[in-house]
Structure 1
Amino acid sequence: MNINVGNKLKQLRKSKSMSQEQVADYLHLSQSAYARMESGESHSWASHIDKLCEVFEITPEELVRGEKMIVGNIGTNNGVGYAEVVNQLSEKLIEQYEERIKDLKQTILDLKNK
C-alpha cells in the first residue's frame, strides 16, 4: 500500500510543480521524512492525510483509491465517511506493522541460530 500511495504522492506533487522540500515544509517535516513517504518506506502519510489532501486538493478517497478499499464520497449518506477511511487505513497499517514485526522476529531467530 505504501508504495502505491507514495507513487500517488509523487505524481500529485509533480503535477503541482512542487518540490519535496515544499511539501515537507507544509507538513512540518524534514525533506527526508517526506521522501520516505514517497518511496514507500514510511507509513507516516496516514497521520498526515488531512494536510496531504489539503495541499494536493484531493479527498482521502482519491489518495487511497485502488488500494482495495471500498470507499465512497465524503458527506454522502450511501458512501463511507472520512472516519471509516481513517479506520480502514489504520487497520491496514496495523496489519503491515504486525507482518513486519513477524518478519523481524524471524530474522532475529535466524541470526541467533547461526
Structure 2
Amino acid sequence: MFTAENSGYMNRIVGNKLKKLRQAKDMSQEEVANGLCMSQSAYARIERGESCSWASYMNRICEFFQLTPEELVKDEEEPIAKNNDLIKENKTLNALLNAYGKIIMMREGEILVLKAIIKGLKSNTQE
C-alpha cells in the first residue's frame, strides 16, 4: 500500500528505475521529459526521488518505457545482494578494527618503554 510513510522509499525506487531506463536508452532527462509531456525539472525531481508526481504520470511512464506498473515500482535490489554488501562492509570494518587494535597495542608498548626511560632519567638526576 502506498502511504505517506513509505512514499520516500517508493520515490527512490521509481527514481532509480527511471534513471536506469533512461540511461539504457541513452536519452537525456529533457528527451524523456518531453516524451512524458512534463518539464525537465519535474522529471529530474522524480529521478532524484524528491517527488511523488511520478504516480500521476504512471501510465505515460509505463507506455514510454514499455513496462507494467508493477515493474515500475518493484524494488529490484535483491535482499541477497544487500546482505552480501553488508557482509563485505562488516569484514572491512573488522579488518580496520583489528588494525587499529594492533596500532594501539604498539603505542601502549612504546608508552611503557618511554615511562621506563623517564623513570631511569629521573633516578639518574636525583643521584
Same fold per TM (> 0.5)? yes
In structure 2, the partner of 1:11 is 20
Contact 2:36–2:61 (8 Å) recurs in 1: yes
Give the paired residue count. Answer: 67
RMSD: 1.3
Q: Which runs of 5+ in 2 are unaligned?
A: 1-9, 77-127
- TM-score with structure 1 length normalisation? 0.56
- Structure 2: which amino acid aligns with 1:62? E
C-alpha separation between the residues in 1 aligned to 2:66 and 2:22?
11
Deviation of 1:26 after TM superposition, in Å, equals 1.2
Note the 1:1-114 alignment, pairs <5 A: 1-66=10-75
Contact 1:16–1:56 (8 Å) recurs in 2: no
C-alpha separation between the residues in 2 aligned to 1:58 and 1:16?
14
- Structure 2: which amino acid aligns with 1:12? L
Deviation of 1:4 after TM superposition, in Å, equals 1.2
Q: Which runs of 5+ in 1 are unaligned?
A: 68-114
SS at match of 1:17: coil
- Flag the structure with higher helix content: 2
Contact 1:37–1:44 (8 Å) recurs in 2: yes
Deviation of 1:24 after TM superposition, in Å, equals 0.6
- Which structure has the larger Rg? 2
C-alpha separation between the residues in 2 aligned to 1:66 and 1:37?
16
After superposition, give the CA deviation of every residue in 1:23-55 in whole Å (9 maximum; x if it has no partner).
Answer: 111111111110000001110001101111111
Identity %: 64
C-alpha separation between the residues in 1 aligned to 2:34 and 2:14?
19
Deviation of 1:64 after TM superposition, in Å, equals 0.7
- TM-score with structure 2 length normalisation? 0.50
- Structure 1: which amino acid aligns with 2:57? H
